[in-house]
């Protein structure tokens, strides 16, 4: 039988336990807004960007279930969805979070601060 | 009663010949219709998609890298048998994919596939080269307490990260016509229904449950290997590969599939590095990565090498020996094991012990091959004449599984008595595959020989 602190040591030193979700970001970038498998039908927030608060590092999105404010950090990925123009999606920036744009936001699972893991911004033709 | 005239005899003989021809023609037609089988349920629909759907991309299917005839994995020997026009080699003949899509040299020499797991913003420099894992026993291998873990580092799928979502990421990474990767232009994404079907198919592959070790093995070397495997003070294998599967248990209950930094990236003289080709370090899980990779199931390991995420080691003996080396014992996982050991030792094995563990894994793999062969052959016995094509396909797969079991045992110098039975089983199954009238009898012969082989490997109650 292994010692209790062996259990802890092995888990802490060796396990990839820091991240709570395993969704791969690299290919996610190329999935058009609203089509993310297992997410877009209830696991993410899809709506219109109502406001952006640079001081509080947050955005408010209005979806069918109401307004929701989510935090943004340096690790939040912002992607521009250009699939409607048949152009490749690309990385975006805070400046692209403009009022009135349609967005999809994935919030980190179980995060009480509701921080966005990624935000897709639809760029209309 | 009047005897028929010569003319009537002639007509009857002609009729019999015509009837025989019709039966042969029907047989030939059904034989030509190999895979896919008709999509009668979600699994067969998933099988059809997995092996035939290109998603309007560059011609690849899931089966391009997970070929049914090669244990659903790629290795250099199999790659060498493919024609130059095979979509696996699309980077060699599609000008849009010539650069930064694959490395043909590393693909052909070591079965390595290019992945942009840390993003697509610097294709020239930001990529990793990974082997293709088999997709057997997914039902027992993917789930963890934190969520599903797919691919080599546990983060292979976009969306919710599930096995169901994996195909979407694979299409974007591997099926694209150009490096623009525009949905609707360079490929189409799988539909919800297709993802359901692919997931159902993948979950149907291989073992549906983990073994319960120890098994009553007959071979003394494999039996000793099993003892070492299960010994938490010696082999310590069972901590992270419970019952030779892909789940971990450190004494406080099974935590499901788990990620570890075992130091594979620190191995010296990695084959791909020896070529001089660009081969950036692989940082594993996450973006940026934390250096960890998840555990694959071991029951299916012996016939699905090369081993580890970078195909660094060719043989199962070499893969076991890795855990006795510096790269592992200096890794976070190796140091954690040492810290918990009364003698501060990580894993310390001698040559005979390494070979014994490998022999155990070879026997486990052969037993799994035999189980699958029996399942395939016995399910064929229940089919009707109209399902002959499906039955022939099952027999073909059983032949392939049996051949694997022969190879796995022979290459380890194990159980020549069992190998003799397996060779007979294979011969009978091959005959059954091409026989019209003696198929069932030949299948039964193959089944009997497979059972005989199994009794040479394990005590059967």
**Mean pLDDT calculated for residue range A92-105:** 96
Q: Are residues B226 and B183 in the same domain?
A: no
Q: What confidence tens digit (pLDDT) does each residue in B402-452 have?
A: 999 999 999 999 999 999 999 999 999 999 999 988 999 999 999 999 999
- B103 within a domain of the structure (yes/no): yes
Cα(B358)–Cα(B365) distance, integer angstroms: 10
* Interface predicted TM-score (ipTM): 0.91
Chain B positions in Cβ-Cβ contact with residue A34 (cut-off 8 Å): none
**Mean pLDDT calculated for residue range B150-165:** 96
Residue with tokens 């200096």: B330
| pLDDT for the residue numbered B27 | 40
**Mean pLDDT calculated for residue range B319-347:** 97
- Fill in the DSSP letter of residue A105: E
Instruction: Report whether pLDDT(A3) > 90.
Output: no
Inter-chain residue contact B260 with A17, CB threshold 8 Å: no
Instruction: Report whether pLDDT(A27) > 90.
Output: yes
| pLDDT for the residue numbered B31 | 36
**Mean pLDDT calculated for residue range B291-297:** 97
Confirm or reject CATH 2.40.50.320 for domain A31-122, answering yes or no: yes
Q: What is the DSSP string of A37-62?
A: TTTTTTTSEEEEEEEEETTTTEEEEE
CATH of the domain at B403: 1.20.120.660
Cβ atoms of B142 and B253 closer than 8 Å:
no
Inter-chain residue contact A22 with B192, CB threshold 8 Å: no
Question: CB under 8 Å to B65, separation ≥6 — which residues?
Answer: B74, B88, B113, B132, B174
Domain coverage including residue B172: 42-204
Instruction: Report whether pLDDT(B387) > 80.
Output: no
Closest CB to A37 among B165, B262, B285: B165
Torsion angles phi and psi, residue A97, rounded to 5:
-85, 80
Percent of chain B with pLDDT over 90: 87
Inter-chain residue contact A7 with B118, CB threshold 8 Å: no
| pLDDT for the residue numbered B1 | 45
Q: Which of A58-72, B22-36, B264-278 has the lowest mean pLDDT?
A: B22-36
Q: Are residues B148 and B243 in the same domain?
A: no
How does residue B23 score in pLDDT terms, banded at 50, 70 and 90? Answer: very low
Q: Are residues B234 and B383 in the same domain?
A: yes
Residue B422: is the preceding peptide bond cis (ω within 30°)?
Answer: no
Question: CB under 8 Å to B384, separation ≥6 — which residues?
Answer: none
Q: Which of B2-6, B97-101, B261-265 has the lowest mean pLDDT?
A: B2-6
How does residue A10 score in pLDDT terms, banded at 50, 70 and 90? Answer: low
Neighbours of A89 (CB within 10 A): 24
Chain B positions in Cβ-Cβ contact with residue A2 (cut-off 8 Å): 232, 239, 250-251, 340
**Mean pLDDT calculated for residue range B186-207:** 97
Model pTM score: 0.90
Question: CB under 8 Å to B207, separation ≥6 — which residues?
Answer: B136, B137, B139, B140, B297, B299, B300, B368
**What does the block give as tokens for B105?**
């040299």
Q: Are residues B196 and B306 in the same domain?
A: no
Instruction: Report whether pLDDT(B4) > 70.
Output: no
How does residue B18 score in pLDDT terms, banded at 50, 70 and 90? Answer: low
- B93 within a domain of the structure (yes/no): yes
Residue B426: is the preceding peptide bond cis (ω within 30°)?
Answer: no
- B410 within a domain of the structure (yes/no): yes
Instruction: Report whether pLDDT(A45) > 50.
Output: yes
Between B175 and B26, the more confident residue is: B175
Q: Are residues B361 and B341 in the same domain?
A: yes
Between B39 and B202, the more confident residue is: B202
Instruction: Report whether pLDDT(B318) > 80.
Output: yes
Give the DSSP H or E segment for B128: strand B128-130
Cα(A112)–Cα(A71) distance, integer angstroms: 11
Q: Closest approach of chain A CAs to the CA of B365, in angstroms?
A: 27
Inter-chain residue contact A83 with B337, CB threshold 8 Å: no
Domain end call among B141, B175, B204: B204
Cβ atoms of B421 and B449 closer than 8 Å:
yes
Q: Are residues B336 and B440 in the same domain?
A: yes
Q: Are residues B179 and B316 in the same domain?
A: no
Helix (H, G, I), strand (E, B) or coil at A122: strand
How does residue A2 score in pLDDT terms, banded at 50, 70 and 90? Answer: low
Cβ atoms of B303 and B369 closer than 8 Å:
yes
- B121 within a domain of the structure (yes/no): yes
Helix (H, G, I), strand (E, B) or coil at A104: strand
Q: What confidence tens digit (pLDDT) does each residue in B398-407 have?
A: 999 999 999 9
Full strand arrangement of the beta sheet holding A90-91: A66-71, A58-63, A45-53, A102-107, A116-122, A77-81, A90-91
Inter-chain residue contact B116 with A28, CB threshold 8 Å: no
Q: Are residues B220 and B313 in the same domain?
A: yes
**What does the block give as tokens for A62?**
């209005």
Give the DSSP H or E segment for A70: strand A66-71
Name the E strands within B173-298.
248-249, 254-256, 259-260, 293-294
Q: Are residues B322 and B461 in the same domain?
A: yes
Cβ atoms of B271 and B311 closer than 8 Å:
yes
Q: Are residues B94 and B156 in the same domain?
A: yes
How does residue B15 score in pLDDT terms, banded at 50, 70 and 90? Answer: low
Cα–Cα nearest to B271, from B105, B88, B73: B105
Handedness of CA A94, A99, A105, A109 (dihedral sign): positive
Work out how many domains chain B is built from and give that number: 2
Cα(A10)–Cα(B310) distance, integer angstroms: 23
Chain B positions in Cβ-Cβ contact with residue A88 (cut-off 8 Å): 180-182
């Amino acid at each position: 039988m292994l010692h209790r602190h062996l259990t802890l040591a092995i888990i802490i030193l060796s396990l990839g336990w820091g991240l709570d979700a395993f969704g791969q970001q690299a290919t996610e970038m190329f999935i058009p807004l609203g089509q993310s498998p297992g997410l877009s039908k209830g696991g993410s927030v899809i709506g219109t960007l109502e406001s952006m608060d640079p001081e509080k590092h947050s955005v408010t999105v209005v979806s069918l279930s109401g307004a929701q404010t989510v935090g943004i950090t340096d690790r939040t990925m912002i992607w521009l969805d250009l699939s409607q123009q048949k152009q490749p999606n690309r990385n975006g920036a805070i400046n692209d979070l403009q009022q009135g744009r349609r967005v999809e936001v994935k919030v980190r699972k179980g995060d009480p601060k509701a921080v966005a893991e990624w935000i897709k911004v639809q760029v209309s033709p | 009663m009047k005897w028929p005239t010569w003319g009537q005899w002639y007509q009857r003989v002609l009729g019999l010949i015509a009837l025989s021809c019709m039966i042969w023609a029907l047989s030939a037609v059904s034989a030509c219709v190999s895979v896919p089988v008709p999509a009668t349920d979600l699994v067969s629909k998933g099988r059809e998609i997995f092996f035939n759907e290109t998603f309007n991309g560059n011609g690849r299917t899931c089966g391009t890298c997970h070929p049914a005839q090669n244990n659903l994995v790629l290795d250099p020997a199999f790659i060498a048998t493919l024609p130059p026009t095979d979509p696996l080699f699309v980077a060699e003949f599609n000008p849009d994919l010539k650069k930064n899509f694959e490395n043909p040299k590393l693909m052909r020499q070591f079965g390595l596939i290019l992945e942009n797991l840390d993003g697509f913003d610097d294709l020239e420099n930001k990529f990793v080269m990974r082997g293709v894992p088999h997709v057997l026993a997914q039902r027992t291998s993917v789930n963890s307490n934190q969520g599903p873990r797919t691919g080599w580092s546990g983060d292979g799928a976009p969306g919710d990260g599930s096995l169901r979502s994996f195909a979407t990421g694979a299409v974007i990474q591997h099926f694209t016509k150009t490096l623009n990767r525009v949905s609707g232009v360079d490929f189409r994404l799988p539909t919800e229904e297709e993802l359901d079907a692919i997931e159902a198919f993948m979950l149907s592959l291989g073992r549906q449950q983990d073994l319960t070790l120890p098994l009553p093995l007959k071979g003394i070397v494999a039996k000793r290997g099993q003892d070492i495997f299960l010994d938490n003070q010696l082999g310590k294998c069972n901590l992270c590969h419970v019952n030779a599967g892909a789940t971990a248990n450190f004494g406080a209950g099974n935590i499901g599939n788990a990620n570890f930094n075992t130091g594979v990236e620190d191995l010296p003289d990695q084959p791909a590095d020896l070529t001089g080709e660009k081969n950036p370090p692989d940082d594993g899980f996450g973006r940026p990565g934390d250096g960890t990779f998840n555990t694959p199931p071991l029951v299916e390991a012996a016939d699905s090498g090369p081993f580890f995420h970078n195909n660094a080691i060719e043989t199962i003996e070499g893969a076991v020996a890795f855990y006795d080396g510096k790269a592992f014992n200096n890794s976070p996982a190796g140091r954690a094991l040492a810290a918990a050991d009364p003698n501060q030792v990580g894993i310390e094995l001698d040559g005979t012990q390494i070979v014994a563990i490998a022999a155990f894994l070879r026997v486990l793999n052969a037993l799994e091959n035999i189980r699958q062969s029996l399942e395939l052959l016995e399910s064929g016995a229940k089919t009707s004449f109209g399902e002959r094509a499906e039955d022939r396909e099952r027999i073909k797969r059983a032949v392939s599984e049996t051949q694997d079991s022969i190879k796995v045992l022979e290459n380890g110098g194990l159980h020549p008595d069992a190998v003799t039975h397996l060779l007979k089983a294979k011969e009978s199954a091959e005959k059954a595959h091409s026989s019209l009238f003696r198929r069932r009898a030949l299948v039964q012969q193959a089944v009997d020989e497979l059972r005989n082989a199994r009794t040479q490997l394990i005590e059967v109650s």
